[in-house]
A and B are shown apart, each in its own frame.
Chain A
């Protein structure tokens, strides 16, 4: 097993300095850093076999197509999907959700139908459904959240009814770190024949995701949050759903036959991959998943739990700090405020100490409204972070306290 020094050495950016200070990167919830093997894989595409995929009859196009399809197989295997036709590459979580909201909506949503989301969603899992509701005259229902930042399951059960067409909830809250009971959510919906989409933007990189076992109908995630290049994403859909849904975008590669009178569509998954795909990014995603497996998901979960426990204990020990999101089941995200110090002030000071955190509403304004705050400071960690870095955050927070509260 790799030690932490070796793990960190895999990520060249982690060694850099900002303002002459060692960078402490605690903004992994926004995007993760890339291991050298991913950077090299993308570079290799452009230096040795860059050619458009699925089109050419020539050698390097074949190679690019093959590597792209290998990446699809890696994704399939990583999430244990039944078949490759169930794996659609997209531009990211947002792209995936918009595709589902549009295509599912066109096929199944009518006036008066209901769609369920939770109060913990980030904007990417709210706005596409709201747009669908406006288009179709459907209604968005919201699962409420308790003071710990967990969904209130009994309230969810009450929302399910004969008008519910789909449940779309996050696997993990990006703002608070709460892991949702997705299996129970899915089982309850399935007992009424309602499909469920799980937004895995913050779930895929922190634990085992087995879509067969979870039995979700759709699972979506972004590549860049799991150590892969930006502009990559995955839409997993059970074949029985994807084969029912109309395409989202029209264009090249998604078609079988085009005439001005009538166009027929290509098979799955290509029907949902219009135009030139980000194949270099997708290939990088495949390598990133290999990297994650080489570290080991159990190892990642264990390390991240230790970091979360350490950080929670340390921050709870500072009496001026209030943590938002106190569920027993969390990924290593700590959302907090220092008394009445504005999150932006805290973030500005931490930044100059070399500590990168996110401040604001985390693209999840309803969550902040739920807690009656304008935003938080969010330290989002992952397996390559260290307890020493958490100590540095603690020192930074003491600095904030001395500057703004004394």
Chain B
């Protein structure tokens, strides 16, 4: 499935719910499905600090693709993180770099990506794209020190 097909599926899944609590319950469940990040990578080098919640993001470069594992200390944030992983993990650097994440707006979570919200999500997307750019520029090489700034 393409990036946008995955996004469209998510939008459809959320469209069944009008009530915010149902949407949050879905996010809580999605958070539970998030593949666990190796505890070795749940460290400062892979931490994306927000003032409200924290996100850890670890990239793995293999072939021409980047896989991500991640976690967050807040459960609703973790649910949104799991959606981002679903959409962008296992993709080529070009797919990641050129992706436009419209689903966030469409499922009503736009505020969660506002720079003022500072929950780590906006930085997480930026970081995923930076990893993709770095990977594209340097070839098949795992970054040694975590975050690419």
Contacts and interface: CB of A to CB of B under 8 A. Distances in A.
Interface of A: 19, 341-342, 344-345, 348-349, 352, 359-361, 374-375, 399, 403-404
Given A399-B21, A403-B28, A361 B51 contact: yes
Contacts of B25: 403
A348 B111 CA distance: 11
B8 interface: no
A345 B74 contact: yes
B30 interface: no
A404 B75 contact: yes
Contacts of A359: 52
Contact of A349 (B24, B53, B73, B77): B24
Contacts of A375: 52
B24 A348 contact: yes
Closest 4 CB pairs of A and B: A352-B20, A342-B74, A344-B74, A344-B53
A344 B20 contact: no
Contact of A352 (B24, B52, B74, B119): B24
Contacts of B75: 341-342, 345, 404
A345 B28 CA distance: 10
A19 B19 CA distance: 10
A345 B78 CA distance: 10
A348 B76 CA distance: 8
A30 to B, nearest CB: 13
Contacts of A352: 20-21, 24
Given A344-B52, A345-B76, 20 more contacts: A19-B20, A342-B75, A342-B77, A344-B53, A344-B74, A344-B77, A344-B119, A349-B21, A352-B20, A352-B24, A359-B52, A360-B52, A361-B51, A374-B73, A375-B52, A399-B21, A403-B24, A403-B25, A403-B28, A404-B75
Contacts of A345: 74-77
B28 A404 contact: yes
Contacts of B77: 342, 344-345
A374 B73 CA distance: 10
Interface of B: 20-21, 24-25, 28, 51-53, 73-77, 119
B51 to A, nearest CB: 6
Given A342-B74, A399-B21, A360 B51 contact: yes
Contact of B73 (A342, A348, A360, A403): A342
B18 to A, nearest CB: 11
Contacts of A19: 20
A341 B20 CA distance: 18
A76 B27 CA distance: 53
8 contacts: A341-B75, A344-B53, A344-B76, A344-B77, A345-B75, A345-B76, A360-B52, A404-B28
A346 to B, nearest CB: 9
A360 B49 CA distance: 13
A334 to B, nearest CB: 19
B105 to A, nearest CB: 17
Nearest to A365: B51
Nearest to B118: A360
Contacts of A374: 73
Contacts of A399: 21
A392 to B, nearest CB: 15
A27 B134 CA distance: 42
A348 B23 CA distance: 12
A244 B73 CA distance: 51
Contacts of B28: 403-404
Residue among A344, A361, A374, A375 with the highest chain B CB neighbour number at 10 A: A344
Contacts of B52: 344, 359-360, 375
Contacts of A361: 51
Contacts of A349: 21, 24
A352 B76 CA distance: 13
Contacts of A360: 51-52
A375 B24 CA distance: 21
Contacts of B73: 342, 374
A345 B73 CA distance: 10
A366 to B, nearest CB: 15
A345 B119 CA distance: 11
Nearest to B23: A352
B30 to A, nearest CB: 14
Nearest to A352: B20
A128 B28 CA distance: 41
A342 B53 contact: yes
B53 to A, nearest CB: 5
A342 B21 CA distance: 17
B52 to A, nearest CB: 5
A379 B74 CA distance: 19
Contacts of B76: 344-345, 348
